[in-house]
Amino acid sequence: MDEVKYSLKDYKSDLKPIWCPGCGDYGVLNALMQAFVKLQIPPHQMALISGIGCSSRLPGYINTYGFNGIHGRAIPLATGVKLSNPDIKVIAVGGDGDGFSIGAGHIPHAARKNIDMTYIVMNNNIYGLTKGQASPTTPVGEQTKTTFYGNMDEPINPVRMMIAYKASFVARVFSGDPKNAIEVITQAIQHRGFSFVEVLSPCPTFRGVEQFKLIREKVRHLPEDYQPTDEVRAFDIANDNDFIRLGVIYRQDRPIYTDIMRKMQQVSEKMGKPEILNLLKQFEP
């Protein structure tokens, strides 16, 4: 029997993306599907989970299992999918508002537990779906629908936050640099553990068409000899205000949550504690 070879069309759904012309999310959609082609993951062995927002429409455009949940709840939904079926590749997607505002409380716990999933945040520094309000990553001084005199709040640094939360894979890419985005997203999906990818995905409608140009002027790829296992160096990269570094910024290998659960089951069997074993078996697929 010939081995099945998946192409780009196998991952495309029948829905046509309806993002604004020039939206960076088109590049993210393409990079994600190209990563699937490289990895040759069968569509039925993946689940794409999202919350609410422009970028959260993405599951509808890819031919996999998918769920478009409520605002800020992509991470707990994705966690439930992974724990109920550990063999499925789980990818959560969303925007900076969805992830770092109403959904911010879920991220540190998924990261510290090292839930085996990939979380892709499309950061456009604005609330796009609700028409241009300031988000948790909007730069200081930026005029928006809700900050007429300029944004007074210090923006969240997603990469710095995720390193502090002990995410086992932290990376940043740019939707206008598809080659690098495909490579890094591929690595993130392959990683065993909680992998986080910040995608700089400009919103030309509410932040201006010049955003792609401004980002291109500041982005720099990490050097080939860079070691992402150095946490102190990773924080230095995250804190760099002169340039925006692209690539895998921090990475460590440690046990994933489902492996720890299986080990608990083995210990329970040895200790002769059937009530614990029966409880844990409720979480098996």
Q: Are residues 285 and 157 in the same domain?
A: no
Q: Are residues 281 and 141 in the same domain?
A: no
Q: Is residue 132 part of a domain?
A: yes
Using pLDDT thresholds of 50, 70 and 90, give the confidence band for residue 283: low
Identify the band that residue 2 occupies on the pLDDT scale cut at 50, 70 and 90. low
Let me know whether 278 and 194 are in one domain.
no
Q: Is 148 inside any structural domain?
A: yes
Give the domain extent around 268. Answer: 255-285
Q: Is the pLDDT of residue 142 over 70?
A: yes
**Pair (45, 115) in one structural domain:** yes
Do residues 244 and 198 make contact, with C-beta atoms less than 8 angstroms apart?
no
Q: How many domains in the chain? A: 2
The values of phi and psi at residue 102, to 5°, are -70, -25
Whether residue 87 is found in the same domain as residue 199: yes
Asked if 179 contacts 168 with a C-beta cutoff of 8 angstroms, the reply is no
Asked whether residue 1 is assigned to any structural domain, the reply reads no
Same domain, 134 and 175: yes
Instruction: Answer yes or no: is pLDDT of 18 > 70.
Output: yes
Q: Please report, rounded to a whole number, the percentage of residues in the chain having pLDDT higher than 70.
A: 92
Q: Which residues pair with 89 in a beta bridge?
A: 46
Same domain, 190 and 282: no
219-242 confidence digits (pLDDT tens): 999 999 999 999 999 999 999 999
Ranking 32-41, 61-70, 227-236, 274-283 by mean pLDDT, the lowest is: 274-283
The verdict on residue 2 lying in a domain is no
pLDDT at 263: 79
Rounded CA gap, 202 and 124, in Å? 5
In a domain, 3, yes or no: no
Mark whether 156 and 271 lie in a shared domain: no
Same domain, 226 and 156: yes
Integer Cα distance of 87 and 275 in angstroms? 25
CB–CB of 47/19 below 8 Å?
no
Asked whether 136 and 146 are in contact (CB, 8 A), the reply is: no
Q: Let me know if residue 131 belongs to a domain.
A: yes
- Judge whether 214 lies within some domain: yes
pLDDT higher than 90, residue 275: no
- Rounded CA gap, 240 and 261, in Å? 38
Nearest to 11 by CA among 20, 22, 35, 26: 35
Highest mean pLDDT among 2-6, 159-163, 262-266: 159-163
pTM for this model (two decimals): 0.92
Cα torsion 127, 134, 217, 22: sign: positive
Same domain membership, residue 260 and residue 243: no
pLDDT at 280 over 70: no
Largest CA distance in the chain: 66
Task: Give the pLDDT band (50/70/90) at residue 179.
Answer: very high
Instruction: Read off the CATH number of the domain in which 247 is found.
Output: 3.40.50.970
- The answer to whether 192 and 253 have CB atoms below 8 angstroms apart is yes
Q: Are residues 74 and 118 in the same domain?
A: yes
Does residue 156 belong to any structural domain of this protein? yes
What's the mean pLDDT when you consider all of the chain? 93
Q: Are residues 45 and 94 in the same domain?
A: yes
